Structures are given as C-alpha cells and as structure tokens.
Structure 1
Amino acid sequence: MALENVVQKAKEASQDVNPKKYSMFLASKPVDGDRKWLDVTNKYTNDVAAKVPLATHKDIDEAIDAAVAAAPAMAAMGAYERKEVLTKVVAELKERAEEIAQILTMESGKPIKDARGEVTRTIDTFQVAAEESTRIYGEHIPLDISARNKGLQGLVKKFPIGPVSMVSPWNFPLNLVAHKVAPAIAVGCPFVLKPASRTPLSALILGDILHRIEELPQGAFSVLPVGREDADMFTVDERFKLLTFTGSGPIGWGMKARAGKKKVVMELGGNAPCIVDDLVPDLDYTIQRLINGGFYQGGQSCIHMQRLYVHERLYDEVKEAFVAAVKKLKMGDPFQEDTYLGPMISESAAKGIEDWVKEAVEKGGKLLTGGNRNGAFVEPTVIEDVPMEANARKEEIFGPVVLLYKYSDFKEAVKECNNTQYGLQSGIFTKDLNKAFYAFEHMEVGGVVLNDSPSLRVDSQPYGGLKDSGIQREGVKYAMEDMLETKVLVMRNVGIL
C-alpha cells in the first residue's frame, strides 16, 4: 500500500471516543482525584484514547516516604512469599494477555503481533523472577589466610538495598517496566516507578495487578506518571538507594551526573552492527533474521540492527534478496494481523528519521529503497555506503533504517563495527568458530549474537552495554544483583570447644 494511502486509512479510522480514565498508584493504592490529566493518544489515529492523572511533587514525596516505610516489611518477606507474589502476577498477565496487547498497540503503535510478543516476554520475565527469588545465595569463606588470622571464618549474605527509583521508556512500555519491577520484588525492594509519558497505560495496568496482591506490603510500590517539572525527583532524591533507568544516552548520563551517592543502573542507546560472513543455515533464513533485526517494531529498539556488513563474495546476493524482502513489508493499521510496520511513536520522531535519511543521501549514501515519510509513518529504508560523518551512521537513528556496507577482511569488519561511541549488542553470521570467538573477544559490546541479528534478546540473559550504551546489566538475575547489598559476618573461634 502506498504511503499516502496508509495515512489516509489512519485518518478514516479516526473517531470521536470518550477517553477512558486510568488511576495512578500511590503507596500501593489507586488514586486520581483533583489533578492535572495527561492525554494518551492512539498512535495510529492520533485520537485521545485515554487520560491518566499526573502526579504532583507532593505525590512523589509521599510515594518515596511510603517506600522507605515499607522497606523493612519488604526485606522481611520470605523467599516463598516473594515467589508467590510474582507467580500471581504471572497468572494475571496470562489471564489478561489479549487485553494488555491491545492497549500496548494503541498506546505505542506497535503491530499487534509484536504487542502479543511483548506480553509473552513480560510473562517470561516475571516467571524467571519468581524462580530466582529463591536463589539468592550467600557463601562461607575461609578467613584463616595466615597465622595471625587463625580461627577466623566468614559468612556472606546479600540483603535488599532499599527503595528503588525506576524510569522506563516508551518503546517496550510493559516488558522494560517488568525488567525493573520483577527483580525488585524478587529481592524485596520497594520501588517508585515513572513510566514514559507517551505510553503509561501498560505500567498502570501492572500497578493494578500488584495492588490486588495482599501479600505485598502496603506502600511497597507506586506507579506515577509525572510531568517534566517534577521528574528529576526520581534522580536526585537521596531516599532512593538505587536508580535504574532505560532510555536515551544524553538523558541517562545527565541523570547519572545528578544522582548523588546512589547506585545507578542505565541501559541506554545503541548503533548495532551485524556481520554476514556466511549464510547460516541458508540465504532465506539469514534474510528473515536480518529483516527482523532491521525492521521489527519499526526499528524502535536500542538493539535495532542499524549497520549491516556483508562479505564481498556474498554482497550482491544478500543485497538483492534483502532489498526485495524490505519492499514486501506491509505498513498500515497496527491492529491488523498482517501489518509489519505501524506508525512511529510520533510525527516529530518520524520527521527526525526523514531528515537523517536525506542527510545520509546528500553526503554520499545510495538510497536502495524507502526514504519517504507521511505523518508518523516512515517507509522501511535501506541506504548503501553512508559515510561516517552522517548522523544516520554515527548516531542512533531509532527507526526503520538499515545502512548496508561491503567488506573483504573479517578483522577490519570487526574494527568497523567498533567504530562508534555505542556498544550494546552486535550480530554475526558465520560457520567459522574461530571467527565467532574472535568477534566475541574483540567486539566492544555487552552482547554478541551468533547466527542471528543483534536485535535478539532473551529476558534471562545479562543485557546492557559498554561505552555510551550504559553501565551494569539488566536480565532478571543480573538486575537483582544490583538491588542487593553484600554483607560479611566475620567470626572468630566458632565451633571450637
């Protein structure tokens, strides 16, 4: 369908609706009342589909106080109790899966198949957290390392760090919330969550699920849509012991600079490369995975495959097949089952992508397909040989754009993959185990994906980046580690009669 027809269909689907009002959750209780309201739009039709209350400075302060007060009760929960809470969340998510997927599509514009996939991943995330909640192990350590330490031994145990501040992004508004909330519950930390203003509804639904679980101590959590003027409380308030943030690099590093003494975990942007050195196992499968990496969810992912390097012996074959497959991708109504690309999160975001595509071509890149925008829709785009000085090459484009390059030497391709300030994930297709391990050892990223695109993420893996892509790791078990403090009990002459 032509781009103009896609936008016209969206306009025709627009309708007058009575926006549904949602509650925020303050100290575990649903609240609305006399507050400013935030409009949440249907990203396909641009209709106001829902309204959520905006938390005030006073609300945030009360939420932090409640989290501090709830910290002892949260820490005292048995592992079986934390597991039970998480298991109940899993059951409720399964029961409401289609309802939540529909809301995800409405508030974010992602195709319904992708939204259902996000709900499934969220279920996995909470399930893994339920299992890991009973695996917070300590250790016994010998301390009699010399004669002067005779009779000493130690016990090491991990304790919840305390109240956690959470700031989540709009592109995965349910599962990236889950990657903060589920580990916090698993270890026994109260939290205050700020969901993205563009996509707050799925986080509020999660709040609705949590506030019905009696085993969770009162005041243990808050979910607060917040105006820009009050958002910095999540960063600077010293009552929080940990700040966990997912979003853009400039915002994240600025938050870290203001975070004071608290521990900070950040998962930031990327400019993910992928090398195709072999077709694994064949051309069709390789192209399928490259398409997924480049255009899944409109490229609105930190591990979107932005750069594709193909060996010269395969280049013409892969280029032809890849471009042909891109041209077949269907854009349109994200609620339709066969839609692959919905709208971008906003028209301004789409305009930014359009500007960078034009700049890339003006600076020498060859446009192979796509490149056009209408409203919030951007055609899936492939550009060949974009130079380093173009924004589309050196920055994170966060849209349905892939840059295509030819290489001859594998080590030089790895070096070129590293030629960026980002380092989140990379992909490599190869049948050569030595090349696979060379890439693993030399790529400056937090994760290397073998025989798939860099866009692959399993919710139990350690996930995060190097350089400007962040610090520390998410992935339930690994996020839990940052929410725990290690203590040692040093003992002298214990067990000696």
Structure 2
Amino acid sequence: MKMLIDSAWVDSSDRSVREVVNSANNDLIDTVPAATASDLKKAVNAARGAKIRMAELPAHERAAVLFRCADVMEKRREELSLLLARENGKPIRQTREELAAAIRIFRGFGEEAKRIFGKSMSLDMVPGMEHHFAFTIRRPVGVVAAIVPFNYPVELYAHKAAAALAAGNAVIVKPPSDCPLTLLHIAEILEGAGVPRAAHQMVTGTGQVVGEYLAREEGIDLISLTGSTPVGQRISRLAADTLKKVHLELGGSDATIICADADLEEAAEAVILGRLARGNGQICCAVKRVFVAEAIHDKYVKILSEKAKKLIVGDPLDEQTDVGPLITESAAKDVENDIQNAVSLGARIRAGGGRRGAFIEPTVLETVPPEAKMMKEETFGPVVPVIPFRTMDEVVGLANNTPYGLQSSVFTNDLTTALDMAYRLDVGGLIVNWSSAVRVENLPFGGVKMSGHGRESIHDTLLEMTEQKTVIIYNALSVFNKTGQ
C-alpha cells in the first residue's frame, strides 16, 4: 500500500519500504512506504494549509464527514476486522469488537463536534468592570500529530484522528510500524467521506524517523501519543524546544486487589478477560499485578490457573482462539525473558510459561518477589504474577510501589473499602469488581506519574485539542448602576 500525503497516495521519496508480516505464520501481508524527512516536510506544509480550511469548516460539516466515515466502516467491518487480525495478531472476535468501538467513537465525535461550547461571564465581581462583558470560545489548536500504537490501533486511532477533525484541526497520523494496513484502508474511507484536502494525512515508517520528526517540527501544534513510557519521554524531550502541547497515554503496572470477601470465580474470570485472553495481554491498562488476601490466596491461584490452562492459543483467524501471537517474535522473547527472570528469583509457574515463535502461553506465577522485573516494569504479554497480602495498608503500599499510575481494580463487597481504595491508590482510574482493563469511550481515560498526562474521551479529548480564547467587550452592559469606567 501507499501512504497518504496532501490527499495523494504516494511512495516514499527514496522508494524504501517496510514489510508488514503476519506474526502467527511469518507470511508477508504487504509493504508500506518508509517515509523520509522530505516526505514529512511535505506533509507538514500541506497540513499548515489544511488547518485553515478545517478551522473554517462548520461544525455540522465536520460532523457529517465523521458520520459518513463511520457508516462505510460499518459496512466494511468484517473485511477490516479480518485484516486487523492478520496484521496485529488479536483474535478475530476481538478485532470485530475493536472495529465496533472505533465506529462508535467516530459517531460520538461527530455528535460532540456540534457541542464545543465556551462560557459567558459578567465582570461585576471586580469594581469598575460592571459594564463590561466577557466570554470564551474554543478554537482548534491547528495541526495535530497522532502517534498510534500497535495494540489497539483502530480504536486508539479513532480517539485521536476523529477527535482532531471534530475539533476543526488538521491531523497527521503515524500508524504503528508493524500493523498500519487497516488504518490505511480507513484513511481511504475518510478521503471518500469528503474530508478537506490534506486535513487528514497518514505517513508510514519508523518511530525514530516519523515520530521524532513530528515531535521536533515547529509546524506541529500538538502531539498525541499512546505508547511506552520511554517513547513518551523521548517525544516530550524533542517537543520541548517548540513548546507544543503534548498529550501522553503511556504504560502501566496496573494492580488488581482481591479482598477476602471477593467472589473468587468472578475475580479469576476478570483477570482472564482483563489480561490473559484480551489483546494477547498487550493492553496498557491490563492487569499486570494481582494482590490477593492471604486467607484466599491458594484457592484463588488454583482457580485462576485452571482457567488459564483452558485458554486456546492459536490462529487469530480461528473463531475459537482466545490468545493469538504477540505483535512480533521479538516482543514474545521479551515476555519470555521476564518470565525467566521471575523464576530465577524464586517465582513458581502455575500455568503456561512457554513460548513458540511469537506465541506466549497464558502464564500464571506465584511467589514472585518484588525485585522481579515484571513487578517493577511493564510486561506486555499474557502473564499474571499473583502476590499475597495481609492488610489493606500493606496492599496499598504494594500497589502504589511503581512509577506508573494508569488504572487499578479492587474486588470487594464492602463499599467503604472500595471508596477507600479510590482515594488512596495513585492511578487515573479505579474499577470496582472487575479488571483494570476497562475503557469506555465517553469516560475520561489516562494516568498519573509515569503513565502520562491528559485525558482521552469523547468530551475530554476535544478540550485537549482546542484552545480557550477569552473575549472582553467594553461597555456592553447597562444593567448595573455606573460605578466605574
């Protein structure tokens, strides 16, 4: 496939390409251009012109473009879901769900485009300002660079690109290097839906070339990145020289706390669906650490391990598959190394633990020491360490003992305990009686500490991608007695 620059489908200026491979069988699916600095310069220049056209486009027309795109995506949902399963490795049942979420997000931003409001304010709180009137308006930031990760590329692309267009911005999308094809097809759909020229561009290539160029480029007004924390740190440093806005949704070491009064079957099923059998374990807010009350620890580990052993690992196109391959064999080797590191430090494998190519068996470990790598850093695969705790104070300390702070969850039937955790855990979101791997498109999503800053949702992202402008009209009011000028 080609990439999209200035509403034209083009090769890279030096004709270089990257291969897109099915990690389940190593089959070549397609190639895409490997963009150069020259290609990126053209894209940014085109976007600077497009931002003017977008800022002048009425909200109802921006909404109509997003609605038309969503309608065609829905008609082509099965085709796009199959392609996503092939290039990404997520099981087909889950890629269908991802397409459905992206369609909802496009429609949601279409509606929200018509609800970008300012505020009106009288100034009579200040002596001498009684006759003056002020209001705010929200205007597009200009050109948005959207850097999309591999794990949920279609859904997270929708959160960024549809939001940028709804707000009246031009957007340059960097799709994930290993699975860009589904997004390129959606870019074709968006072009057909009538998006203004160069308002939506998609430039393929590596993060080192494309992502870093966009971060440095003064013609970019906002960077929206979902990715790892080290990548977020790098992008932030590069963006600092131009003081552009940076919106980061980064990694997590998400804790699930299972109290003694929890429903163990439900808590085990939540961890299965919130880590081992969801996105092949490659989700930023998936369950990364499970803390279980000491009194129920052994019973819980037995239930969880038995469920993990029943999961079907295999071809992502097979309707029965629960767990597909990781995005690359290299990624699977990283997860395997994390498992071996934990075992070398005393952890016991209760289920799984093996690797075949890019496939990792759903793995449950116990007696994992705090110095194990997976307890300190993000392991991106279907692996769950289970750790006992004695008191709530102890588990709060354990859960917060991480540089990350994306989401957590707690299983309890005690409302006071649940609310206590909401206040004490250093995270951007807490889920009660389900896993941490919950994201609903109309709710604010994002983290604290090294998990990033800013919030994404159908409402919040529009606030991130617009600027608030204050307007003051002198001598506009006569309702108050004159006491000043």
TM interval, shorter chain, is over 0.9
Q: Do the aligned residues in 2 keep the contact of 1:167 with 1:234 (CA within 8 Å)? A: no
Equivalent in the alignment of 2:200: 221
Supply the AA of the counterpart residue of 1:53: P
- The 2-side partners of 1:78 and 1:84 are apart by 10
Equivalent in the alignment of 1:293: 274
Q: Do the aligned residues in 2 keep the contact of 1:182 with 1:476 (CA within 8 Å)? A: no
The reply to whether residue 152 of structure 1 matches residue 132 of structure 2 is yes
Equivalent in the alignment of 1:118: 98
TM-score (norm 2): 0.95
The reply to whether residue 171 of structure 1 matches residue 157 of structure 2 is no
Match of 1:233 among 197, 213, 224: 213
Supply the AA of the counterpart residue of 2:64: E
Cα shift at 1:278:
5.5
- The 1-side partners of 2:11 and 2:467 are apart by 36
Question: In the TM superposition, what whole-angstrom CA distance separates every residue of 1:290-320 from its partner, at most 9, and x where no partner exists?
Answer: 2111211221111120111112333232221
- The 2-side partners of 1:97 and 1:285 are apart by 31
* 1:446-485 equivalent positions in 2, closer than 5 A: 446-485=428-467
Match of 1:271 among 232, 246, 253: 253
* 1:187-202 equivalent positions in 2, closer than 5 A: 187-202=167-182
Supply the AA of the counterpart residue of 1:144: D
Supply the AA of the counterpart residue of 1:291: I
Considering only aligned residues, what root-mean-square deviation do their CA atoms show, in Å? 1.5
TM-score (norm 1): 0.93
Equivalent in the alignment of 1:363: 345
- The 1-side partners of 2:139 and 2:409 are apart by 37
Q: Do the aligned residues in 1 keep the contact of 2:329 with 2:358 (CA within 8 Å)? A: yes
Match of 1:396 among 348, 356, 378: 378
- The 1-side partners of 2:475 and 2:323 are apart by 67
Q: Do the aligned residues in 2 keep the contact of 1:29 with 1:211 (CA within 8 Å)? A: no
Moved over 3 A (4+): 227-231
Q: Which runs of 5+ in 1 are unaligned?
A: 1-21
Q: Which moved more, 1:369-378 or 1:270-279?
A: 270-279
SS in 2 for 1:147: coil
Supply the AA of the counterpart residue of 1:381: T
Match of 1:324 among 306, 310, 320: 306
Equivalent in the alignment of 1:346: 328
Match of 1:415 among 375, 390, 397: 397
Question: In the TM superposition, what whole-angstrom CA distance separates every residue of 1:437-458 from its partner, at most 9, and x where no partner exists?
Answer: 1111111011101111001111
SS in 1 for 2:128: helix
Supply the AA of the counterpart residue of 1:113: R
Equivalent in the alignment of 2:17: 37
Relative to structure 1, is the Cα distance of residues 94 and 373 closer, same or farther in structure 2, using a 3 angstrom cutoff? Answer: same
* 1:76-115 equivalent positions in 2, closer than 5 A: 76-115=56-95
Supply the AA of the counterpart residue of 1:152: H
SS in 1 for 2:153: coil
Question: In the TM superposition, what whole-angstrom CA distance separates every residue of 1:132-191 from its partner, at most 9, and x where no partner exists?
Answer: 111111111121223222212211111011001111111112111111101101111001
Supply the AA of the counterpart residue of 1:417: A
Match of 1:333 among 301, 315, 323: 315
* 1:178-189 equivalent positions in 2, closer than 5 A: 178-189=158-169
Q: Do the aligned residues in 1 keep the contact of 2:130 with 2:477 (CA within 8 Å)? A: no
Relative to structure 1, is the Cα distance of residues 311 and 230 closer, same or farther in structure 2, using a 3 angstrom cutoff? Answer: closer
Match of 2:368 among 383, 386, 403: 386
Q: Do the aligned residues in 2 keep the contact of 1:276 with 1:429 (CA within 8 Å)? A: yes
Q: Do the aligned residues in 1 keep the contact of 2:138 with 2:469 (CA within 8 Å)? A: yes
Q: Do the aligned residues in 2 keep the contact of 1:30 with 1:208 (CA within 8 Å)? A: no
Question: In the TM superposition, what whole-angstrom CA distance separates every residue of 1:242-296 from its partner, at most 9, and x where no partner exists?
Answer: 011111111111110110310000111011100112566x443332212111211
* 1:250-269 equivalent positions in 2, closer than 5 A: 250-259=230-239, 260=241, 261-269=243-251
- The 1-side partners of 2:124 and 2:368 are apart by 61
- The 2-side partners of 1:351 and 1:253 are apart by 24
- The 1-side partners of 2:456 and 2:338 are apart by 30
The reply to whether residue 405 of structure 1 matches residue 384 of structure 2 is no
Supply the AA of the counterpart residue of 2:7: S
How many positions carry a matched residue from both structures? 474
Equivalent in the alignment of 1:73: 53
SS in 2 for 1:269: coil
Equivalent in the alignment of 2:265: 284
Cα shift at 1:230:
4.7
Equivalent in the alignment of 1:372: 354
Q: Which runs of 5+ in 2 are unaligned?
A: 480-485
SS in 2 for 1:352: helix
SS in 2 for 1:304: coil
Relative to structure 1, is the Cα distance of residues 321 and 486 closer, same or farther in structure 2, using a 3 angstrom cutoff? Answer: same
- The 1-side partners of 2:408 and 2:154 are apart by 24
- The 2-side partners of 1:58 and 1:368 are apart by 52
Q: Do the aligned residues in 2 keep the contact of 1:429 with 1:451 (CA within 8 Å)? A: yes
